[in-house]
C-alpha cells in the first residue's frame, strides 16, 4: 500500500465546514486585504507564541525580507546564518543587498552551531538568522549573548517551528523578530501563501506594518520604501480556524515520532549520535535536545547511501523528501561568495544523508509500519 508523504485532504475533510463558513464570512464582508480578520489572526498568533505584536505578511520569505528591511540591513552588511536551511533564509539576505555568511550546523540538531558563530562575526556583521529547522529550536541563548555583545539584530527563522519551545520560551518570541510561514505544507498551513512576523517592540512593529504597505504613513505618503507584503483576509480566516487545532495536530506528530522511534528500535540498528561514517545497515533518528518541545514539522533520519534508499522508497510507493540536497553555501547563485566544498562539512554531510519520512498528523499506525518496513528492508539488503 502506498503511503503519501503528506495528505492535506484528510485534514481538510475534518474541518471543512468551519473553514468554508469562515471563508464565506470574508466573501460576505468583501474585505479582502488586511482588515479585522487579519488583525484578529495577528493577535491570536502573537499570543500563541508569546510575542506582543504580530504583523501578517504575504509569506515566510517576505517575513524574513521585511524584518531585514525593518532592521535597516542592506549593502555592505553581513548577516550570519545556517548553511543548512531552505533557500529563502539566505535569499532574503541577498535581496536586501547584504552578504550572507554561512556557518556550519550541529550535526545532532541540524541547527546553527553557536560555537562556530562567534568566529564568523566581523565589524560588518549586523544580524544573525538562526533557523529552527524541522520543528526544533536552535540553541538561542549563546547566540543572544553574542548578539548583545556585538549589538546584532536576531531574526528567528521559525518558519518550520510554530509552537516549538526551549526553556527560554517559544520559538519566534526570543529574538528581535520571529518569522513564520503558513505555506500549505507547514504545521499551520493556509490555502496559499501567507506569513507572519512577531516582535515585542512597538516601534519595530509599527515599522514592519509600514513596510508591508509600501512604507506609507499616512496613505500615499512614503517616508520609507517598502513593498506589498500584505496578508489576505481569506488566508487569515482559514488560519484562524486551523490555529485552534494546532496543538492537537502537534501532539499527533509527536506521537507519530515516538512510534517511529519504537518501530525502528525494534527492527534495526539505531545510531544514537552522528558517528562518521554511519554504518550502511544503521539509521540515525532525530535528536531531541533536552528541554525543548519539538513540533516535528519533519521527521528526518540519516542513512549512508541515501539516494539508493530514495529509489527503493519510490519503488515501494513510500512518500519521502530530501530537505535539503545542496547546502546554501554551495548553491550556484552563491558561488561568487567563494565557498568551496569541505568548508562546512557538517552541512555537506547532512545534505548527503538526510531523508524525511511522512509525519503528518493523520498518518496511521499501519502506514507508519509500511514506511518502517520499507526502510528496514533496504537497510538489511546491504
Ligand X SMILES: *Cc1c(COP(=O)(O)O)cnc(C)c1O
Residues within the interface to ligand X (CB under 6 A): 59-61, 85-86, 88-89, 131, 157, 159-160, 181, 183, 193, 195
Query: At its nearest, how many Å lie between ligand X and the CB of residue 269?
Result: 31
CB atoms under 10 Å from CB of 142, counted, come to 15
Query: Which CB sits closer to ligand X, 92 or 146?
Result: 92
From residue 245, give the alpha-carbon distance in Å to each of 239, 248, 357, 378: 10, 5, 22, 36
Query: At its nearest, how many Å lie between ligand X and the CB of residue 173?
Result: 17
Residue from 120, 86, 46, 114 nearest 289 by CA: 114
Shortest-Cβ-distance residue relative to ligand X:
60
Residue from 20, 9, 49 nearest 238 by CA: 20
Query: Which CB sits closer to ligand X, 132 or 209?
Result: 132
The sign one gets for the Cα dihedral 57, 193, 137, 85 is: negative
Query: Which CB sits closer to ligand X, 186 or 209?
Result: 186
Residue labelled with grid coordinates 540553541: 139
Burial class (CB in 10 A: 0-12, 13-18, 19+), 343: middle
CA–CA gap between residue 339 and residue 337 (Å, rounded): 6
In SS3 terms, 266-295 reads as HHCEEECCCCCCCCCCEEECCCCCCCCECC
CA 140 to chain centre: 15
Query: Which CB sits closer to ligand X, 264 or 334?
Result: 334
b/e code 43-59 from CB counts within 10 Å (16+ = b): eebbebbbbebbbbbbb
Helix, coil or strand: residue 246: helix
Residue from 125, 169, 168 nearest 149 by CA: 125
Query: Which CB sits closer to ligand X, 101 or 278?
Result: 101
Query: Which CB sits closer to ligand X, 172 or 195?
Result: 195
Query: At its nearest, how many Å lie between ligand X and the CB of residue 25?
Result: 24
Query: Which CB sits closer to ligand X, 109 or 181?
Result: 181
Residue labelled with grid coordinates 526553556: 167
9, containing H or E segment: helix 8-29
Query: At its nearest, how many Å lie between ligand X and the CB of residue 160?
Result: 4
Query: At its nearest, how many Å lie between ligand X and the CB of residue 227?
Result: 14
Query: At its nearest, how many Å lie between ligand X and the CB of residue 119?
Result: 24
Query: Which CB sits closer to ligand X, 70 or 89?
Result: 89
Query: Which CB sits closer to ligand X, 159 or 284?
Result: 159
Query: At its nearest, how many Å lie between ligand X and the CB of residue 89?
Result: 5
Query: At its nearest, how many Å lie between ligand X and the CB of residue 202?
Result: 25
Which segments of 30-72 does DSSP mark as H helices, in order? 36-48, 60-70
CA 298 to chain centre: 10
Query: At its nearest, how many Å lie between ligand X and the CB of residue 85?
Result: 5
Amino acid at each position: 500500500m502506498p503511503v503519501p508523504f503528506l495528505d492535506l485532504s484528510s485534514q481538510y475533510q475534518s474541518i471543512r465546514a468551519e473553514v468554508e463558513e469562515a471563508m464565506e464570512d470574508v466573501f460576505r464582508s468583501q474585505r479582502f486585504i488586511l482588515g479585522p480578520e487579519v488583525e484578529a489572526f495577528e493577535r491570536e498568533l502573537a499570543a500563541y507564541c508569546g510575542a506582543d505584536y504580530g504583523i501578517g505578511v504575504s509569506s515566510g520569505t517576505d517575513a524574513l525580507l521585511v524584518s531585514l528591511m525593518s532592521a535597516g540591513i542592506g549593502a555592505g552588511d553581513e548577516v550570519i546564518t545556517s548553511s543548512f536551511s531552505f533557500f529563502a533564509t539566505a535569499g532574503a539576505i541577498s535581496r536586501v543587498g547584504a552578504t550572507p555568511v554561512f556557518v556550519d550546523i550541529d550535526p545532532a540538531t541540524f541547527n546553527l552551531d553557536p560555537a562556530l558563530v562567534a568566529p564568523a562575526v566581523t565589524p560588518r556583521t549586523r544580524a544573525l538568522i538562526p533557523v529552527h529547522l524541522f520543528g526544533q529550536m536552535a540553541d538561542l541563548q549563546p547566540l543572544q549573548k553574542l548578539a548583545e555583545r556585538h549589538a546584532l539584530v536576531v531574526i528567528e527563522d521559525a518558519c518550520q517551528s510554530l509552537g516549538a519551545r526551549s526553556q527560554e520560551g517559544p520559538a519566534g518570541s526570543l529574538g528581535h523578530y520571529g518569522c513564520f510561514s503558513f505555506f500549505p505544507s507547514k504545521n499551520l498551513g493556509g490555502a496559499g501563501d501567507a506569513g507572519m512576523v512577531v516582535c515585542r517592540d512597538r516601534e519595530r512593529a509599527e515599522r514592519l506594518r509600514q513596510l508591508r504597505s509600501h512604507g506609507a504613513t499616512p496613505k500615499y505618503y512614503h517616508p520609507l520604501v517598502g513593498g506589498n507584503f500584505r496578508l489576505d483576509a481569506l488566508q487569515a480566516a482559514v488560519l484562524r480556524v486551523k490555529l485552534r487545532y494546532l496543538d492537537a495536530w502537534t501532539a499527533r506528530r509527536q506521537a507519530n515520532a515516538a512510534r517511529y522511534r519504537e518501530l525502528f528500535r525494534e527492527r534495526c540498528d539505531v545510531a544514537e549520535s552522528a558517528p562518521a561514517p554511519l554504518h550502511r545497515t544503521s539509521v540515525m533518528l532525530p535528536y531531541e535536545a533536552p528541554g525543548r518541545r519539538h513540533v516535528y514539522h519533519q521527521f528526518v533520519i540519516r542513512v549512508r547511501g541515501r539516494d539508493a534508499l530514495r529509489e527503493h522508497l519510490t519503488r515501494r510507493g513510500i512518500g519521502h523528501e530530501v530537505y535539503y540536497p545542496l547546502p546554501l553555501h554551495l548553491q550556484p547563485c552563491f558561488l561568487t561568495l567563494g565557498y568551496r566544498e569541505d568548508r562546512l562539512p557538517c552541512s555537506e554531510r547532512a545534505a548527503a544523508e538526510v531523508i524525511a519520512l511522512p509525519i503528518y498528523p493523520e498518518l496511521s499506525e499501519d502506514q507508519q509500519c509500511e514506511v518502517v518496513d520499507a526502510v528496514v528492508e533496504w537497510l538489511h539488503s546491504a
